[in-house]
Structure 1
Amino acid sequence: MFAPDPDLYFSDGNIILAAPTSLGKDEVVFRVHRSVLASHSPVFADMFSPPHPHPDVNDTYDGEALVCLHDDATHVKDLLQTFYQPFSLTLTRYDPDTPDKIRACLLLAKKYQVQSLYDHLVALFRADWPADLKEWDDLEEEVAFRLDQVNSDFSGLREAWDVDNSFPEPASAIQLAHDFDIPEVLPAAYYHLSRLKLTQDRDGWRTQKGQPFSEMTSEEIFIRLRAGERTARWSLVTLQDLRRVILWRESLQDQIPRLEERYRGVVCGNACDAQLRLVLRKIPTGTSDLLAELKEAFSDAKLARREFCASCTADIGERNEIVRENIWSEMKAFFLL
Structure 2
Amino acid sequence: MSGSPSRKRPRHEAEGRISQTDIVGEPQRDEELWLSDGNIVLVAQRTVAFRVHKSLLAQRSEIFRDLFSLPSSGTEETLDGCPVVHLIDPPDDLRHLFSVLCCGRNYYYNKDKVQPVSVKVLAALIRMSHKYAIQDVLADALARLQRYYTANLAEWSAIASREQYRFADDVKADPEDAITVIELARLTDTPSLLPTAFLSCFALDGTTVPCSSSARDREHILARLAPEDLTRILRGRVKMTKMHTFRIFAIFAMRKSLPSAECRTSTNCGKAMFAGFGNAGHDFILSVYQDDQDDILLSSLSGYMANSDPGLCAKCRGDVETALENNRRIVWEQLPDLFDLQVDGWPATDPDHCEYSMATWSTVRATTNIPDCRRLISTCAMNVVALGDVGPADSTCIS
Q: Flag whether TM exceeds 0.5 (same fold).
A: yes
* Paired residue secondary structure (1:197): coil
Decide whether aligned partners of structure 1 residues 33 and 191 sit closer, same or farther in structure 2, where only a CA change above 3 A counts.
Answer: closer
Aligned pairs (5 A) from 1:15-54 = 16-19=40-43, 21=45, 30-45=50-65, 53-54=69-70
| Equivalent of 2:257 in 266, 269, 276 | 266
Deviations 1:210-251 (A, max 9, x none): xxx47xxxxxxxxxxxxxxxxx95553332222112222221
Separation (CA, whole Å) in 1 of partners of 2:37 and 2:206:
55
Amino acid at match of 1:175: E
Percent of pairs identical after alignment?
Answer: 22
| Equivalent of 1:253 in 228, 241, 246 | 241
Contact 2:185–2:193 at 8 Å: present in 1 too? yes
Deviations 1:277-319 (A, max 9, x none): 44323321733546233222443x65551244x4333222222
Decide whether aligned partners of structure 1 residues 142 and 248 sit closer, same or farther in structure 2, where only a CA change above 3 A counts.
Answer: same
Separation (CA, whole Å) in 2 of partners of 1:10 and 1:196:
43
| Equivalent of 1:312 in 316, 328, 340 | 316
Partner of 1:79: 97
Shift in Å, 1:32 = 3.4
Contact 1:5–1:29 at 8 Å: present in 2 too? yes
Say whether residues 1:122 and 2:142 are aligned partners.
yes
Contact 1:59–1:65 at 8 Å: present in 2 too? no
Contact 2:44–2:94 at 8 Å: present in 1 too? no
Partner of 1:279: 276
Decide whether aligned partners of structure 1 residues 10 and 174 sit closer, same or farther in structure 2, where only a CA change above 3 A counts.
Answer: closer
Decide whether aligned partners of structure 1 residues 67 and 113 sit closer, same or farther in structure 2, where only a CA change above 3 A counts.
Answer: farther
Separation (CA, whole Å) in 1 of partners of 2:48 and 2:234:
46
Structure 2 segments unaligned to the other structure (5+ residues): 1-22, 110-114, 164-168, 289-295, 343-399
| Equivalent of 1:291 in 297, 314, 323 | 297
TM-score (norm 1): 0.65
Separation (CA, whole Å) in 1 of partners of 2:205 and 2:162:
22
Contact 2:44–2:89 at 8 Å: present in 1 too? yes
Decide whether aligned partners of structure 1 residues 253 and 64 sit closer, same or farther in structure 2, where only a CA change above 3 A counts.
Answer: same
Range with bigger deviation, 181-190 or 279-288: 279-288
Give the aligned CA root-mean-square deviation in angstroms.
4.1
Separation (CA, whole Å) in 2 of partners of 1:47 and 1:233:
34
Aligned pairs (5 A) from 1:20-169 = 21=45, 30-45=50-65, 53-55=69-71, 60=76, 61=78, 66=83, 68-72=85-89, 74=91, 75-87=93-105, 93=116, 95=118, 98-99=119-120, 101-139=121-159, 165=173, 169=177
* Paired residue secondary structure (2:29): strand
Separation (CA, whole Å) in 2 of partners of 1:320 and 1:41:
50
Report the count of equivalent residues: 282
Structure 1 segments unaligned to the other structure (5+ residues): 144-158, 207-212, 215-231
TM-score (norm 2): 0.57
* Paired residue secondary structure (1:113): coil
Separation (CA, whole Å) in 1 of partners of 2:326 and 2:187:
34
Decide whether aligned partners of structure 1 residues 250 and 288 sit closer, same or farther in structure 2, where only a CA change above 3 A counts.
Answer: farther
